[in-house]
Amino acid sequence: MFDSIKDARNLGITIAIGGMAIIAVVGTLMGYLLTRRLEILAVAAQRFAGGDLQTKAGLTGKDEVAEVGRAFDQMTAKIQEHIGIIETSNQRFALAVAGSNDGIWDWDIARDEAYFSPRWREMLEIEADDPTFQNKISTWFERIHADDYKMVRAAVDRVLLASDESLFLEHRLQKNTGKYIWVLMRGKVSRDSEGKAIRMSGSLSDITERKHQEVTIQHQAMHDSMTNLPNRLVLHERLRLALQEAEREQTSVAVLMMDLDRFKEINDTLGHHVGDSVLQEVAARLQNLVRKSDTVARFGGDEFAMVLPSVSTATAVSVINKILKAIEPTVIVDQHKLHIETSIGIALFPQHGQDPTALIKFADIAMYAAKRANSGYAIYDSTHDPHSADRLVLTANLRQAIEADELTVHYQPKIHLATGEVTGVEALVRWPHPTLGLLFPDTFIPLAERCGLINPLTFRVLEAAIQQHQRWLRDGLKLAIAINLSARTLQDLNFPTQVAASMQNFGIDSKYIEFEITETAIMADPVRALKVLTELNQMEIRLSIDDFGTGYSSLAYLQKLPVQAVKIDKSFVIDLISNPSNLAIVRSTLDLGHNLGLQVIAEGVEDRETYLMLKSLGCDMAQGYFFSHPAGAELIAQKIKLFSSDQHLPMREIRHA
Ligand code: C2E
Ligand code: MG
Ligand code: MG
């Protein structure tokens, strides 16, 4: 029994050992198979992690390991598909960046890392290997123009602080060469879940050319292209600002309007290019003499305007004197030596006007008064107004009046002092205006000169005077007629031919015609004037220098001209008796004139003493209120007839019967 128990135990042990061995073998085998599949999976995962994105585990079967393997393979396939999409998108982006003219930038705000595309750097001429270049947003900020920096910073801050979602900024950036370019910076912000800005990116465009064009267009809109001076618009605006400031500071502002005398003649007779050069020269001279705070503008045509802030009347006048001095030297264009003169009007804030429009208008009115008075300049005075307020209307009226032959001519006798004879009269134009009454030449001759009406006017006067001469002739009065010529007429090379035609048309002998010309008219272009004068002289028309003494020329110079007489300006004659220096001038003009073989006429003889003084000085002829005011033809004829029969009766006492 014992043996069988022992055997049984042994058998049991053997069976147990055998069973264990079988289990061990089967377990080992199964463990081996499992480990192997897990190993395959691990290797695939390692390869994937190592960058082999196409790797696959390739496990088959139905167990869990195989399932994990298949999931892994699906995952890698999906990732690969996404990588493909990303790559295509990247390629497209790279193409877009490379092909676009814009630079691209991207700013990782948290890490303060920035990306600037090659084109971004190229725009700023930053070489690819530039050692100073940093991938930091400061690369942008450091290049911003000092004047734009604040504005850019503020705009960026607004985006960072969430008050703005995007950037749209025009500013200047400095290139590596030191030069600035204008750029348009666009940007969008990305925020985290709490709304904090984490990234900003966008584009950069070079808009330098457009900016320059804008600046040019703006400059053109604000400046006169010929003289490069600010235009009317700018002057108006500067004046507005100056007035605001003056009101605050309790100072005054002067507005000057300036117009070149007889400029239209230069333009019309010598051509626009000469006129343009004159304007440019005048503009340059004006600009040279004003302060930085002053504005000189071209108002159009030959008109300039100035705004002088913080000046007293006295200072404004001293500026005007500087201007007059600066304009004085002759302007040489081509071979023409041009003597430019100007008339300036001043209006002051606050005494004359409170707003820009009123001040400009008043300065204009004063300028017109200065022109009329030939005084160089005039300060606004309300009495200047009546005739000048509606200059435009007046111009239109004048044109109609000339066309409708509504101008009339008054005559003033010229007396031979030695004999008391009246052999000639001066024709002086008048305009009986329907509403303003009888207008004198000083009101409308400058207007006619400015508007190209002076030649038609001159011919109306000439022909009216010729016809009157012939009526007088039929009436037994042999009176020569003296006609005043303007500078423009004197520059018109066709004028002598037209005069010849008129003379022939009316059949007048040239010895009865005299032309009076002023020195300043000759000096506008002496070469041309000389041509015209020579031709008139060859037609045996008498020529005399009017208003002698008011210009700058010497008698010696004038003697070279084909003239026969000088008329001493009335300003020297009127107070001859009481003003010794005028007496001296008259005396020496008489001496010199006679030495040069010229006849000397004194105009503006207002009283007997002057008349007698002139007679004793040996003056040839006299003209003035003492003998007669200018008057209509009929009255003048009566006066002359009576005066011839009784020279003790001053003509001025004779009135219409
Ligand atoms: P002017 O040729 O020197 O003419 C003389 C001016 O002096 C005239 O003024 C005349 O009325 C004025 N006068 C004459 N005697 C006296 C006097 O004793 N005392 C004073 N204080 N004045 C006297 P008016 O008629 O007003 O003409 C002014 C200017 O207008 C003329 O000066 C002349 O330059 C210009 N003018 C007149 N008619 C014409 C014309 O038909 N064509 C052109 N281009 N100019 C003209
Ligand atoms: Mg005259
Ligand atoms: Mg005169």
User: What DSSP line would sit under 147-185, residue for residue?
Assistant: HHHHHHHHHHHHHHTTS-SEEEEEEEEE-TTS-EEEEEE
Which of the listed residues 372, 431, 462, 484 should we mutate to test ligand 1's pocket, taking the one with most ligand atoms within 8 A of CB?
A: 484
CA gap 565, 594 in Å, rounded: 10
For residue 657, the model assigns a pLDDT of 37
SS3 at position 308: strand
Nearest residue by C-alpha to atom 12 in ligand 1: 604
The conformation of residue 226, written as its DSSP 8-state character, comes to T
How far, in Å, from the CA of 603 to the mean position of ligand 1?
9
Nearest to 527 by CA among 490, 552, 498: 490
Residues belonging to the chain: 657
Strands, E, within 67-226: which ranges? 103-108, 113-116, 166-174, 180-191, 197-206
CA gap 428, 623 in Å, rounded: 13
For residue 220, the model assigns a pLDDT of 84
SS3 at position 575: coil
How far, in Å, from the CA of 262 to the mean position of ligand 1?
18
Q: Is 421 in the pocket of ligand 1 (CB under 6 A)?
A: no
For residue 481, the model assigns a pLDDT of 98
Instruction: State yes or no: cis peptide before 350, omega within 30 of 0.
Output: yes
Q: Is 448 in the pocket of ligand 1 (CB under 6 A)?
A: no
**Count of CB atoms within 10 A of residue 371's CB?**
25
Helices (H), 539-579: 555-559, 570-573
SS3 at position 522: helix
Closest ligand 1 atom to the C-alpha of 410?
Answer: 25
Q: Is 624 in the pocket of ligand 1 (CB under 6 A)?
A: yes
Q: Is 76 in the pocket of ligand 1 (CB under 6 A)?
A: no
**Count of CB atoms within 10 A of residue 6's CB?**
10
Q: Is 265 in the pocket of ligand 1 (CB under 6 A)?
A: no
Nearest to 354 by CA among 252, 219, 210: 252
Burial class (CB in 10 A: 0-12, 13-18, 19+), 416: middle
Nearest residue by C-alpha to atom 42 in ligand 1: 484
The two tokens of residue 220 are: 């053109």
Nearest to 354 by CA among 254, 251, 250, 243: 243
Closest ligand 1 atom to the C-alpha of 486?
Answer: 44
Closest ligand 1 atom to the C-alpha of 516?
Answer: 2
602's enclosing H/E stretch is: strand 599-603
Nearest to 565 by CA among 536, 529, 530, 589: 589
Phi, psi of 163 (to 5 degrees): -85, -20
How far, in Å, from the CA of 601 to the mean position of ligand 2?
11
Q: Is 486 in the pocket of ligand 1 (CB under 6 A)?
A: yes
CA gap 277, 242 in Å, rounded: 31
For residue 36, the model assigns a pLDDT of 83
Q: Is 458 in the pocket of ligand 1 (CB under 6 A)?
A: yes
Nearest to 286 by CA among 297, 300, 299: 297
Burial class (CB in 10 A: 0-12, 13-18, 19+), 463: middle
CA gap 512, 482 in Å, rounded: 8
For residue 396, the model assigns a pLDDT of 80
For residue 656, the model assigns a pLDDT of 43
Q: Which ligand is nearest to the CA of 442?
A: 1
How far, in Å, from the CA of 516 to the mean position of ligand 3?
8
The two tokens of residue 556 are: 């010696």
Residues 479-531 have pLDDT tens digits of 999 999 998 899 899 999 999 999 999 999 999 999 999 988 888 788 899 99
- Give the strand pairing for 621-623 and 599-603: parallel
Amino acid at residue number 330: T
Q: Is 187 in the pocket of ligand 1 (CB under 6 A)?
A: no
Closest ligand 1 atom to the C-alpha of 623?
Answer: 15
Nearest residue by C-alpha to atom 17 in ligand 1: 604
CA gap 626, 628 in Å, rounded: 6
How far, in Å, from the CA of 603 to the mean position of ligand 3?
7
Nearest residue by C-alpha to atom 27 in ligand 1: 441
Q: Is 544 in the pocket of ligand 1 (CB under 6 A)?
A: no
Q: Is 466 in the pocket of ligand 1 (CB under 6 A)?
A: no
CB 298 within 8 A of CB 229: yes
For residue 449, the model assigns a pLDDT of 85
SS3 at position 307: strand
Instruction: Give the dihedral sign, CA 514/517/522/528.
Output: negative
Domains and CATH numbers, the chain: 12-95 (no CATH), 100-212 (3.30.450.20), 225-384 (3.30.70.270), 407-653 (3.20.20.450)
Residues with CB under 5 A from ligand 3 (ion): 546-547
CA gap 333, 581 in Å, rounded: 38
Largest distance between two CA atoms of the chain: 204
Nearest residue by C-alpha to atom 45 in ligand 1: 484
**Count of CB atoms within 10 A of residue 505's CB?**
10
Q: Is 429 in the pocket of ligand 1 (CB under 6 A)?
A: yes
For residue 462, the model assigns a pLDDT of 97
Q: Is 352 in the pocket of ligand 1 (CB under 6 A)?
A: no
Closest ligand 1 atom to the C-alpha of 449?
Answer: 44
Using CA atoms in the order 367, 371, 377, 380, what is the torsion angle rounded to 10 degrees? -40
The two tokens of residue 171 are: 């500013």
SS3 at position 567: strand
Residues paired with 526 in a beta bridge: none
Give me the average pLDDT of each 10-residue run along the chain (657 residues).
53 62 68 78 83 82 84 85 78 65 89 91 90 89 94 91 86 94 92 89 92 86 89 93 90 93 84 92 92 90 93 85 91 88 91 85 90 87 57 79 95 94 95 81 82 92 97 95 94 95 95 93 86 96 92 70 93 89 92 92 94 96 92 93 69 49
Nearest to 189 by CA among 134, 119, 109, 100: 109
Closest ligand 1 atom to the C-alpha of 428?
Answer: 38
**Count of CB atoms within 10 A of residue 309's CB?**
21
Distant-in-sequence contacts of 632-635, Cβ < 8 A, 24+ apart? 632/408, 632/410, 632/411, 633/409, 633/411, 633/468, 633/471, 633/472
Residues paired with 190 in a beta bridge: 199
Residue 256 CA to its chain's centroid (Å):
16
Residues paired with 107 in a beta bridge: 114, 200
CA gap 550, 570 in Å, rounded: 10
CA gap 19, 316 in Å, rounded: 130
How far, in Å, from the CA of 428 to the mean position of ligand 1?
6
